[in-house]
Amino acid sequence: MAQKAIISGITGQDGSYLAELLLSKGYEVYGLQRRASLPNTGRIDHLYGKKGFNMTYADLSDSSNLLRVIKKIEPDEFYNLGAQSHVGVSFDVPEFTVNTNALGPLRILETIRNLGMPIKYYQASSSEMFGKVLEIPQRETTPFNPQSPYGLSKVFAFHITKIYRTGYNIFASNGILFNHESPRRGINFVTRKVTIGLSRISLGLQKTLKLGNLDAKRDWGYSKDYVEAIWKILQHKEPDDFLIATGETHSVREWVEEVGKHLGMSITWKGKGLLEKGIDQKTGKTIIEIDPIHFRPNEVEFLQGDSSKAQKILNWKPKTTFSGLAKLMTEQDLVYVKREATEGHPVVTQQKFQV
């Protein structure tokens, strides 16, 4: 009989790639979709009608509906990827963030406990929990020091997952994933904002791109590589916590330069602080400016992960380099933006994602 998996957050970046991976392995996939006033299924529209693909309405803020759905489907695995996942936005909607990201996992785990079903649970934990880092590089053993409502909500979720594992003998595992990106990344995360913005600038559709902290450093990987790790974490013989990262760290400034290279630009920097500007040496034009609106009340300046435990125990390795990631995201956004140029309306926000 086919394995059954529920995916919360299936309409998001990781959920869509994980759904494809599980379907390719013969799973029956049950995606949880929350109600939206406009279609929110652009990343998974291509999966409708595929054998084993099912969708149902559910929301992580609604315990009774989670109970009904889990009881009816009787899944072998539950991948909890649903979250208010934007760190900056979590300062604006802290209560919603905590309700979804912290209490959501608690609601699922309580349901699993009460039903007494042998369901394996995956929690999408985050490098944002390390916050102002207390060790370099970060490992599974590094203490958490969150700096945002989002980071703290994920610390709660991480610990409650461990508590249900040890206290109730539930197969519940955490993947502590560092930043991972793709052509399906939400358009208000910095990597995607830059690939779209610079692509538009290269075609003359936009003059400048306004960014926040250029000095922040992140360990950026590719979402498609990371969903392989997510699946492997639940296939391991026992529940455990694994850190997933590339081991390399780069600044936002370096990301801008790298994306620029793939568009034939040569970006150099002039000025300091709010007056800093990125200039394309080929045209002499200013294309990057700083807008403090993108600064956060607290910032996480530096993340770099050590994934040697996952590499050793799960036999997982990142396959995509920093430059390879910038290339594949930029090439795809250039295709969307070229369509904007010919069709005369925004394509990026209405795209069907199949890459």
Q: Which does 212 bind (CB under 5 to 8 A by kind): ligand GDD, ligand NAP, none?
A: ligand GDD
- In degrees rounded to 5, what are phi and psi of residue 185? -60, 140
Contacts of residue 213, defined as CB under 8 A and 6 or more positions apart, other chains included, come to: 252, 294, 295, 296, 299, 301
* CA 28 – CA 2 distance, rounded (Å): 6
276: DSSP letter: -
8 contacts ligand NAP (rule: CB under 6 A): yes
Minimum CB–partner distance for residue 181 and ligand GDD (Å): 8
Alpha-carbon dihedral 40, 65, 16, 337, rounded to 10 degrees: 10
* CA 193 – CA 344 distance, rounded (Å): 20
- DSSP bridge pairs for 218: 250
The interface mask with ligand NAP, positions 13-32, x = CB under 6 A, is xxx-----------------
Q: Could you give the C-alpha distances from 45 to 12, 20, 26, 85, in angstroms and in order?
A: 12, 12, 19, 21
Q: By C-beta, is 42 or 346 nearer to ligand NAP?
A: 42
Candidates 314, 330, 10, 288; CA nearest to 140 is 314
318 contacts ligand NAP (rule: CB under 6 A): no
The interface mask with ligand NAP, positions 49-68, x = CB under 6 A, is ----------xxx-------
Instruction: Write out the two tokens for 113.
Output: 């406990």
Q: By C-beta, is 86 or 113 nearer to ligand GDD?
A: 86
Minimum CB–partner distance for residue 296 and ligand GDD (Å): 6
7: DSSP letter: E
One residue of 90, 97, 111, 126 binding ligand NAP per CB under 6 A: 126
Q: By C-beta, is 218 or 262 nearer to ligand GDD?
A: 218
Binding site for ligand GDD (CB under 6 A): 85, 87-88, 126-128, 178-179, 188-190, 193, 211-213, 216, 218, 252, 294, 296, 299-300, 303
* CA 196 – CA 255 distance, rounded (Å): 13
Binding residues for ligand NAP restricted to 240-279, rule: CB under 6 A: none
Size of the site for ligand NAP (CB under 6 A): 25
One residue of 26, 118, 143, 186 binding ligand NAP per CB under 6 A: 186
Task: List interacting residues with ligand NAP (CB under 6 A).
Answer: 8-9, 11-15, 34, 36, 40, 59-61, 81-85, 100, 124, 126, 177, 179-180, 186
